[in-house]
Amino acid sequence: DPYQLGLVYTKSKFTYPGYTIGYINNNTIPNKDLKPTRTNSFEIGIETKFLNNRMGLDITYYSQKSKNQIMGMASSWTSGYTYRLINAGEIDNKGLEIALNTRPIQTKDFSWDLNLNFSKNSNKVKRLVDDMDMFELEKASWLDVQVAAKVGENFGSIVGPDFKRNDAGQILINPSTGLPEYDKSNHVLGNASWKWTGGVTTTLTYKNLSLNAIFDVKVGADLYSMSARASYESGKAKQTLAGREDWYKSEEQRQEAGIAKGSESWKPTGGYIAPGVIDNGDGTYRKNDIYVNPEDYWMNVCRNAPSMFIYDNSYIKCRELTLSYNVPQQWLKKAINGLTISLVARNPFIVWKNIPNIDPDSNYNNTTGMGLEYGSMPSRKSYGISVNVKF
């Protein structure tokens, strides 16, 4: 797109005084030195049909190496722009695509068509611009989490701070506070790319009536849910109830004993025990057994550990349901060659999802913002009637 090389004006819907106002409609800093993307690719496939074309199989394998990919790199807000365009180094893609088309049942009045597809893509960031190790594609609103291209990782790494852990991966607990300790350096917490995707299309036809359903399957991508984080921080998530009543009882006992809040002479008798271990100082660890106020724990974690709110975003959705009726030709006038009346539902329901409380499609966007979510609207359901007339 040559318009990516410079700023362009567009017309505003506002006028002053009576004249159309022009403005720069662009949130991306252009780059006049952009180079075209260069791609070397290899592809091999096979397509076969069986049983009088009632079964077909299509398999494709591809390998692709792209250099100078044009990417929108996140820019400082002080620049007045959201992104700046760069040539992003070298990315390798390898993948497999399989499509199976079948008609398992066919009689005089009834047929069943079943089509399956599968796609798996593996990509690796081999090199970035100016020998950078990582650059930011999109940044979350909180906790310094970003979606990034990181050398040696799959494109779309979710990067941010994390808990401090021992060599066994156990969370380290501060023995003075009973709360987790944190490492503010960047860690790869997940990846926004799908491990594999697929789809199922099925059609049942009886005489002039047919029912068609389309299902979408996506597996393996991670999502950082800031909506989940907000619900935990405000105490609205049901998981924050754990230990709450026991802490209140412990506080009542402390007050009855006449001991001041925070006094070292008082040890809480109930509350929440943070998952993790305490370092004994001799290379061994013991399981944490310190009671804390659940509010203190969740406020502390929500402000320091985004990994608590990164979920596997796998799901299966019904994308479309269509019930159609082909009106018999003898019912139609000669000028009409065909009439089909359909009831159509789009995004009617979710068959299964792994992430709680939100729509799994709730990303910032489908490009650089994959893997980040905060208060996004769910996919819109729609219902309608379709009339298709052939003359």
CA distance 225 to 191: 13
Reported confidence tier of residue 383, pLDDT bands at 50, 70, 90? very high
In this predicted structure, what is the pLDDT of residue 2? 64
Neighbours of 366 (CB within 10 A): 8
Helices and strands of the chain, counted as H and E runs = 3, 25
Say which residues have a Cβ less than 8 Å from residue 330's Cβ, sequence separation at least 6.
Answer: none
In this predicted structure, what is the pLDDT of residue 362? 86
The tokens of 2 are what? 């040559």
In this predicted structure, what is the pLDDT of residue 33? 77
In this predicted structure, what is the pLDDT of residue 36? 85
CA distance 11 to 182: 50
Return the percentage of the chain with pLDDT > 70, whole number. Answer: 91
In this predicted structure, what is the pLDDT of residue 9? 67
Mean pLDDT within 136-147: 86
pLDDT tens digits for range 160-204: 999 999 999 999 999 999 999 999 999 999 999 999 999 999 999
In this predicted structure, what is the pLDDT of residue 329? 83
DSSP secondary-structure letter at 307? Answer: G
Contact 87, 55 (CB under 8 A): no
Does 274 score more than 70 pLDDT?
Answer: yes
Q: Of 72, 194, 71, nearest to 123 (Cα)?
A: 194
In this predicted structure, what is the pLDDT of residue 3? 61
The β-bridge partners of 66 are: 39, 91
In this predicted structure, what is the pLDDT of residue 85? 76
Say which residues have a Cβ less than 8 Å from residue 73's Cβ, sequence separation at least 6.
Answer: 83, 84, 85, 86, 88, 135, 136, 137
The mean predicted confidence, pLDDT, of the chain is 90
Mean pLDDT within 274-284: 96
CB-count burial class (<10 Å; 0-12, 13-18, 19+) for 346:
middle
Most confidently predicted of 47-56, 328-337, 355-364: 47-56
In this predicted structure, what is the pLDDT of residue 77? 62
Whole-prediction pTM value?
A: 0.83
Contact 146, 136 (CB under 8 A): yes
CA 46 distance to own-chain centroid? 32
pLDDT tens digits for range 81-90: 767 777 778 8
CA 128 distance to own-chain centroid? 24
pLDDT tens digits for range 226-238: 999 999 999 999 9
Mean pLDDT within 285-310: 97
pLDDT tens digits for range 2-32: 666 666 667 776 677 767 777 665 667 777 7
Mean pLDDT within 46-73: 90
Q: Which residue has the tokens 């007050």?
A: 255
CA distance 24 to 310: 37
Reported confidence tier of residue 137, pLDDT bands at 50, 70, 90? confident
The tokens of 115 are what? 């089509």
Mean pLDDT within 65-72: 82
In this predicted structure, what is the pLDDT of residue 1? 61
In this predicted structure, what is the pLDDT of residue 141? 76
Reported confidence tier of residue 321, pLDDT bands at 50, 70, 90? very high
Long-range pairs, 96-99, Cβ under 8 A, ≥24: 96/59, 96/60, 96/61, 96/120, 97/58, 97/59, 97/60, 97/61, 97/62, 98/57, 98/58, 98/59, 98/60, 99/56, 99/57, 99/58, 99/59
In this predicted structure, what is the pLDDT of residue 335? 77
In this predicted structure, what is the pLDDT of residue 364? 76
Among the listed ranges 130-139, 281-290, 376-385, which one has the minimum average pLDDT value? 130-139
Mean pLDDT within 292-319: 97
Q: Which residue has the tokens 């006049």?
A: 32
In this predicted structure, what is the pLDDT of residue 166? 97
Does 240 score more than 80 pLDDT?
Answer: yes
| Whole-Å CA distances, 294 to 232, 257, 357 | 11, 22, 22
DSSP string, 132-173: -SEEEEEE-SSTT-EEEEETTS-SSEEEEEEE-B-TT-PBBB
In this predicted structure, what is the pLDDT of residue 178? 97
CA distance 49 to 53: 5
Reported confidence tier of residue 117, pLDDT bands at 50, 70, 90? very high
| Whole-Å CA distances, 127 to 36, 68, 87, 262 | 17, 10, 11, 52
